Amino acid sequence: MPLVSREKANVGILVASQTLFMVATITVMTLSGVVGQALSPNPAFATLPIAIMMLGTVTSTLPASLFMKRVGRRLGFIVGASVGGIGGGLVSVAGIAAGSFWLFCAGNLLLGLYQGFAMYYRFAAADVASPTFRSKAISLVMAGGVVAAFLGPWNASATLDWVPSVPSGGPYMIIAILALIAIGLLSQLKVPPRGEPQPGDTSRPMAQIARQPRFVVAVIAGAIGYGVMVLVMTATPLAMRTQGFEMSQVAFIMQWHVLGMYAPSFFTGSLITRFGVERILTAGVVILLGTVVVTNLGVSLAHFWVGLVLLGVGWNFLFVGGSALLSSVHSEAERGKVQGVNDLIIFTLVAIGSLMSGQLIHRLGWEVLNLAMLAPIVLVAIVLISWKVRFSSSRLA
């Protein structure tokens, strides 16, 4: 197959696999709290399955990256989809069938492992793409979330009775089936030699890599952007219910938020190529600041809609921009540990944000919670300005 055609085929496989994986994630975020409430011995534990999924992601992120450094992307992704996707879906169904809350939590833990591996689809896009296509390839993979924004909520509601003897088991069975389809697609992934581990490769110590200004900017932008987004997103349904909105209105806002997260990916890569990653990261910061402004102007449906769409777009620019920047700071031999450390930091903040969200909105309220997000957003701005000043100084030297 010609090189360009193979490149497009590889990216297409990763886009499809990302879509199938995102259906699983959105299903868990939508449904696992409801199922957890029905199964848990204590209503306070209702959202514990979701938190445990995030714990599974945090604990598997770095091992997944190091494992793929040894065995390659294709085998690593297949293992993640097999153990995490198929295994997690089936164990979740078994937990519901047995009425076992903790078995259901174990299934969600495995689905977190699926996420731990699948988050590297975007980096694999950089591995299989030429330098001029790299940023666009990453953004196209992220764009798989647009389709999942519709399929995830549909799966969480329309397939509830597809396993007659296991009420609410259908969506998790679908997760397992979609993971099986993903395995078939991933088996056709052909990563070029430059994107796979090579014998004799040497790498710098992680401490030396981490001192690079570009690494610091990439990690801080991605981690804070993701952490802020998850914290506010998780608090939104609680805030809307407090204001008397119906669940259908909450679902409408959340769907638009997910579209805001992933729809820009169709052009984020092109924008990075045209304007540079620094300007895209700066735009992400400005858009997140806009979220804070809008959410403090009022609590109407329109305010929630605009605020959550801006939140999604700001996250996209920071996360895709940070991922593109990170791909420029390491060699192939260093890829596993650098990407693993990056995602470990990101999902540690994500897990903390998801756990803190309920307490913060209860204690601070919706408007003050959003104002509190100014501090981390301004921190990203300061890091970007410092990087720009340092880069300008080095060019003049």
Question: What confidence tens digit (pLDDT) does each residue in 191-212 have?
Answer: 766 544 555 556 777 888 888 8
Q: Which residue has the tokens 């056709």?
A: 188
Higher pLDDT, 137 or 169: 169
Residues shown for the chain: 397
Res. 25: pLDDT tops 70: yes
Mean pLDDT of 144-170: 83
pLDDT of residue 396: 46
How many degrees, rounded to 5, is the angle at CA 314 between CA 313 and CA 318? 115
Q: Rounded to whole angstroms, how far apart are CA atoms 256 and 243?
A: 19
Q: Is 72 left (phi over 0), alpha (psi -120 to 50) or beta?
A: left
pLDDT of residue 397: 46
User: What is the architecture of the domain spanning 206-397?
Assistant: Up-down Bundle (1.20)
Q: What is the DSSP letter of 28?
A: H
Q: Rounded to whole angstroms, how far apart are CA atoms 256 and 193?
A: 40
Residue % of the chain over a pLDDT of 70: 92
The domain locations on the chain are: 1-193, 206-397
Mean pLDDT of 145-174: 85
Q: Rounded to whole angstroms, how far apart are CA atoms 304 and 257?
A: 10
Mean pLDDT of 49-68: 86
Res. 306: pLDDT tops 90: yes
Mean pLDDT estimate for the chain: 85
pLDDT of residue 375: 94
Higher pLDDT, 361 or 367: 367
Q: Rounded to whole angstroms, how far apart are CA atoms 114 and 79?
A: 9
Burial of residue 213 (number of CB atoms within 10 Å: 0-12, 13-18, 19+): middle
Higher pLDDT, 390 or 271: 271
Cα R_g (the chain), whole angstroms: 20
Res. 181: pLDDT tops 50: yes
Higher pLDDT, 5 or 74: 74
For 213-231, the pLDDT digits (tens) are 888 999 999 999 999 998 8
Q: What is the DSSP letter of 85?
A: I
Among 2.40.50.140, 3.40.50.150, 3.40.50.720, 1.20.1250.20, what is the CATH number of 1-193?
1.20.1250.20
Nearest to 338 by CA among 218, 183, 172: 218
Q: Rounded to whole angstroms, how far apart are CA atoms 278 and 272?
A: 8
Nearest to 314 by CA among 368, 271, 381, 260: 260
Q: How does 292-311 read in b/e, with b if 16+ C-beta sit within 10 Å?
A: bebbeeebeeeebbbbbbbb
Tokens of 303: 């305010």
Q: Rounded to whole angstroms, how far apart are CA atoms 116 and 190?
A: 21
Give yes or no on whether 1-193 and 206-397 have one common fold.
yes
Mean pLDDT of 92-121: 93
Higher pLDDT, 309 or 157: 309
Res. 358: pLDDT tops 80: no
Q: Are the CB atoms for 354 and 230 separated by under 8 Å?
A: yes
Higher pLDDT, 287 or 68: 287
For 240-296, the pLDDT digits (tens) are 878 888 767 877 888 888 889 888 877 888 888 889 888 999 999 999 999 999 999
pLDDT of residue 3: 55
